[in-house]
Amino acid sequence: MDFFNIEISWRGIGYIVITSVSSVIVLFILTRIMGKRQMSELTMFDYINGITIGSIAAEMATALDGDVWQPLFAMIIYAFFAIMISYISMKSIKARRFLVGRPFLLYENGKLFEKNLKKAKLDINEFLTECRTNGYFYLSDIQSAIFETNGKISFIPVSNKRPVTPQDLNISVAKEAPVANVIMDGHIMQKNLRHTGNDETWLKKQLHANGVSHIKDVFLATCDCNNTLEVYIKLKKENKKDIFE
């Protein structure tokens, strides 16, 4: 009995490769047009719409009948509606409340709002689990719990449970700025270096002071607002220690 009676068509394989690459390119372009958003910022519509577009792209890649235009147009239509809904939501508060929803309280000042928990499709055990995973093991440590439009829960701790800040201690601190990556993978990031107000001569002197002779040996170098250079060289040997097992 022949279990491998499969006829391989190189033409068919080539066609699938072409349509797969094309669908990936179209998917990338549409994603760029629709904008970058973190997973935690996606609404339920955004999430479902993304899955749908991905499914259509997969159908386009495996459309052996040669009809790739219908899936392509379907992807464009879904992307168009996603862009329009996002635009309308930004321009109109009423439309945003209708399309995206609005945050609401689940807990405040020792009171659990049962109707809002049902509205969020959460039972009390799921709510308590969310509290614990966010570091709140006692409801008395929480002032408010807010169900956000992206399905996440935001917690406001009671005043005496909040971390102490320099403002609480009347301490003035200097302003901080993001560090600039001046070297990445052995290459000088010229624009970032100029942004720090320094040049290559200064950079090479700092590297020499850190015992580095060649820029190509640097995996990452960062410069902060105080012109302090942090250098991480490329390691020749693989780290064999694994303390996480």
Domain ranges of the chain: 10-97, 104-161, 180-233
Residue 98 backbone dihedrals phi, psi, to 5 degrees: -75, -45
Place of tokens 């060649």: 214
Nearest CA to 19 out of 64, 75, 70, 77 is that of 64
**CB proximity list for 108: less than 8 A, separation 6 or greater:** 143, 144, 145
Q: How far apart are CA 233 and CA 239, in angstroms?
A: 14
Residue 137 backbone dihedrals phi, psi, to 5 degrees: -95, -10
Does 4 score more than 60 pLDDT? no
CATH superfamily assigned to domain 180-233: bsu07140 like domains (3.30.240.20)
List residues bridging with 230 in a β-sheet. Answer: 222
For the four alpha carbons of 120, 125, 129 and 132, in that order, the dihedral sign comes to positive
Domain 104-161 and domain 180-233 have a common topology: yes
With 0.75 as the threshold, say if the pTM is over it.
Answer: no
pLDDT in tens, 136-154: 999 999 999 999 887 889 9
pLDDT in tens, 209-238: 999 989 999 999 999 888 899 999 988 766
Cα→Cα distances 222→133, 189, 227, 232, 236, Å: 33, 10, 9, 9, 21
Mean confidence (pLDDT) of the chain? 82
Higher pLDDT, 6 or 123: 123
CATH of domain 104-161: 3.30.240.20
